Amino acid sequence: MTSIHGHDVLNMMIDSGESYSTATLEAAIVDRFGEQARFHTCSAENMTAGELVAFLQQKGKFIPQQEGFNTHESKICRH
């Protein structure tokens, strides 16, 4: 099974221009990448969509908005 980088999820969020809640982001990830998809980042691997959302939130990758949150290119590491 191929692992998808968390950056792909952050870019999906930016491209959508939408605000998300934890639940709607997890649903959008599953819709885009599939229920069986696994995710990795620069420091973690083999995460489910829900685990990835929690990880990104803990790492401060989300920007609060009036309703929910989104992200910005500045939140994506470049290493």
Please tell me the distance from the alpha carbon of residue 62 to that of residue 30, in angstroms, as a whole number.
Answer: 18
pLDDT digits (tens, 9 = 90+) for 9-48: 999 999 999 999 999 999 999 999 999 999 999 999 999 9
Q: What is the pLDDT of residue 1?
A: 66
Is 3-75 a domain of CATH 1.10.10?
yes
Confidence of residue 7 (pLDDT cuts 50, 70, 90): very high
Q: What is the pLDDT of residue 2?
A: 79
CB atoms within 10 A of CB 3: 13
pLDDT at 74 over 70: yes
pLDDT at 79 over 70: no
- Of the candidates 60, 12, 54, the residue with the CA atom closest to the CA atom of residue 33: 12
Domains of the chain, residue spans: 3-75
